[in-house]
Amino acid sequence: MTYISTQRLDIKPTHKNCWSIFDKFDQHLIGKLFFKKQWFNIILKPHSLGLGVATESAFGLMKAINCDHYKAKTDLAHAASFLRGMGFVKQENHYMVSAETLTCPDPYLELNQSLGIEDRKLSCPFQPTAVQLIDSDIDCFDRSTKLHPQAHHAWHQMKQAAKDDGVLLQLVSAFRSMKYQAQLIQGKLDNGIPLDDILSVNTAPGHSEHHTGRAIDITTHEFEALSTSFESSPAFKWLTDRGAEFGFIMSYPKDNQYGIIYEPWHWCYHPVAGVNK
Ligand SMILES: [Zn+2]
């Protein structure tokens, strides 16, 4: 029984043929993985479905086990598509892949290639997609948002504390997928904006802190969203004084090392910085 560590997951053996899947970020249990004689089965909590967790845990397991062939059965369309993405081929009543044809799909590289973004332009660190997301607040444009459960909890505590001090904090944006980030950039390219100019404002897919479900853009009343003028608002003063108490740190101060413009509105949750873990 092997302990498996992937980019985002810790997969620990619990009993015979069974592993528990943990979110590496907070060691929270998000699912179970069963494997016996080439067959595997994955059961995930609802807030981890569709985030590539099944692919990453199955691929991690198959690499660690090293059999000739792997088999799986499913009636679910999204599960079938993740199996096909890893090279599984439909047999009569199941799916099968050989060790040689097993592939790990990497949508992140494909997205950047399709936008013409080369590695040398990626000055920001890689930011993996959250493996847990739950519904959070309605944003200032009346859209629903999603956050990692820990960041959601910290945001609510922080917003309430600000309110108690007479300060309104409001979300502009929370979780964003790599695909959505690619669409934002493609839209600007279509409008004739040069790629270098876009990348000083929008990080490349795979490099936005918004993928992690822990970054939020914040605004307050009487200030324009995503404008540098936010720095003179009472909300910004409050965040600077007390944001770290709740684990929120401003990611892109003036002249930051990533070459990203000054973003006084963008704050990211870091559990070690906060006292409310
Ligand atoms: Zn942001």
pLDDT digits (tens, 9 = 90+) for 188-232: 999 999 998 898 888 899 999 999 999 999 999 989 999 999 999
CA–centroid distance, residue 126 to ligand 1 (Å): 15
Residue 16: burial class (beta carbons within 10 Å; 0-12, 13-18, 19+): exposed
How far, in Å, is the centroid of ligand 1 from the Cα of 209? 7
CA nearest neighbour of 70 among 31, 33, 122 = 33
Average pLDDT, stretch 137-153? 96
What ipTM goes with this model?
A: 0.99
Query: In the chain, what are the domains?
Result: 4-98 (3.40.630.30), 114-273 (3.30.1380.10)
The one-character DSSP state at 157 is H
What pLDDT was estimated at residue 19?
A: 96
The string of pLDDT tens digits covering residues 128-137 is 999 999 999 9
Distance 277 CA to ligand 1 centre (A): 22
Task: Report the helix count and the strand count for the chain, using DSSP H and E.
Answer: 7, 14
* pLDDT recorded at residue 263: 95
pLDDT at 271: 85
Structure tokens at 96: 């099968």
When comparing pLDDT for 12 and 85, which is higher?
A: 12
Which residues, in sequence order, are CB contacts of 179 under 8 Å at separation 6+? Answer: 107, 111, 205
- Longest CA–CA separation in the chain, Å: 65
How confident is the model at residue 11, as a pLDDT? 96
> Quick one: pLDDT band at residue 20, thresholds 50, 70, 90?
very high
* Alpha helix segments (H runs only) across 69-225: 77-85, 107-115, 149-164, 178-190, 195-199
Distance from Cα 91 to the centre of ligand 1, integer Å: 45
Report how far apart the first and last C-alpha atoms of the chain are (Å, whole number).
Answer: 32
DSSP for 22-54?
Answer: EETTTTEEEEEEEEETTEEEEEE-GGGTTTTHH
- Left (φ > 0), alpha (ψ -120 to 50) or beta: where does 259 sit? left
What separation in Å is there between the alpha carbon of 181 and the centre of ligand 1?
A: 11
How far is 52 from 6, CA to CA, in rounded Å?
Answer: 12
Query: How many angstroms separate the CA atoms of 51 and 6, rounded?
Result: 14
Tell whether the model's pLDDT for residue 273 goes beyond 70: no
Mean confidence (pLDDT) of the chain: 91
